[in-house]
């Protein structure tokens, strides 16, 4: 399951367009993409294995909680892990601090509705979770030995925090700025801490930056490539 492509289709960088710097941009991009992909792949693999375990233990009870605690402990960027029953009610949550959300009905959430339509592993776009956190969730179905749907296993994380931790080592000392956005233009992470949460395609304050908006449309239409734009630096005003 290629979960990174829908989350990270557009990576934009600020740097002078000289050949050595373009090489540095490419190398830095590759390093960040590998780090992000590796972390998400590890989580995805663990969720696949633990969904299989939960099919044997059931989605509620001490054994289910032990599995969720293990999943949560292995991935520091995860906010919480939970199981939900076939009706869309949360039944078990890790860590213990978030167990208060057990019993909450999430069946009406757009993310849950989309998952229930296919009951296939999925990575969501940004949404407001019941934990009152804007996050992204990976969901895996839990199936019985006969293939019957028993419920779901979810892992929620905040993309801004995840991407900060994944990209900061590669960006340190390079002078490169990083922006990560969804296909709909929503900025999930801005390394300068300015544009996170804005939408390149719809936020009024960004529409005057026509070169940037045009490049954004170009980026979401392609799997890879490069481009340039001129924009006022937030720090210097120039």
148-189 pLDDT, tens per residue?
999 999 999 999 999 999 999 999 988 888 989 999 999 999
Domain ranges in the chain?
A: 9-38+160-220, 46-158
pLDDT recorded at residue 219: 86
pLDDT recorded at residue 235: 57
pLDDT recorded at residue 154: 98
Q: Could you tell me the pLDDT band of residue 8, with boundaries at 50, 70 and 90?
A: very low
- Rounded to whole angstroms, how far apart are CA atoms 5 and 182? 10
Q: Could you tell me the pLDDT band of residue 15, with boundaries at 50, 70 and 90?
A: very low
Residue 164, CA atoms < 13 Å, CB-side half-sphere: 13
Q: What is the pLDDT of residues 86-137, one digit of tens each?
A: 999 999 999 999 999 999 999 999 999 999 999 999 999 999 999 878 999 9
- Superfamily of domain 46-158 in the CATH hierarchy: PAS domain (3.30.450.20)
Question: Is 138 in contact with 121 (CB distance < 8 Å)?
Answer: yes
pTM given for the model? 0.84
Backbone φ and ψ of 124, nearest 5°: -85, 170
- Rounded to whole angstroms, how far apart are CA atoms 110 and 107? 8
Top pLDDT among 171 and 19 is at 171
pLDDT recorded at residue 43: 97
């Amino acid at each position: 399951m290629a979960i990174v492509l829908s989350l990270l289709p557009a990576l934009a960088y600020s740097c002078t367009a000289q050949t050595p710097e373009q090489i540095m941009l490419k190398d830095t991009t590759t390093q960040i993409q590998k780090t992000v992909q590796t972390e998400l792949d590890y989580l995805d693999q663990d969720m696949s294995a633990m969904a299989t375990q939960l099919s044997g233990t059931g989605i509620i009870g001490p054994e289910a909680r032990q599995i969720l605690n293990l999943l949560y402990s292995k991935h520091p960027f995860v906010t919480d892990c939970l199981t939900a029953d076939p009706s869309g009610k949360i039944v078990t949550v890790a860590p213990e601090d978030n167990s208060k959300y057990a019993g909450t009905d999430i069946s009406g959430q757009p993310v849950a509705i989309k998952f229930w339509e296919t009951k296939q592993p999925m990575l969501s776009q940004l949404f407001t979770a019941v934990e009152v956190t804007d996050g992204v969730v990976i969901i895996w179905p839990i199936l019985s030995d006969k293939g019957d749907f028993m419920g779901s296993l979810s892992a929620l994380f905040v993309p801004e925090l995840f991407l900060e931790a994944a990209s900061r080592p590669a960006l340190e000392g390079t002078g490169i700025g990083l922006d990560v956005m969804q296909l709909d233009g929503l900025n999930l992470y801005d390394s300068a801490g300015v544009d996170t949460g804005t939408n390149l395609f719809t936020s009024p304050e960004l529409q005057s930056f026509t070169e940037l908006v045009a490049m954004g449309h170009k980026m979401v239409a392609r799997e890879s490539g490069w481009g340039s734009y001129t924009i006022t630096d937030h720090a210097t005003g120039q």
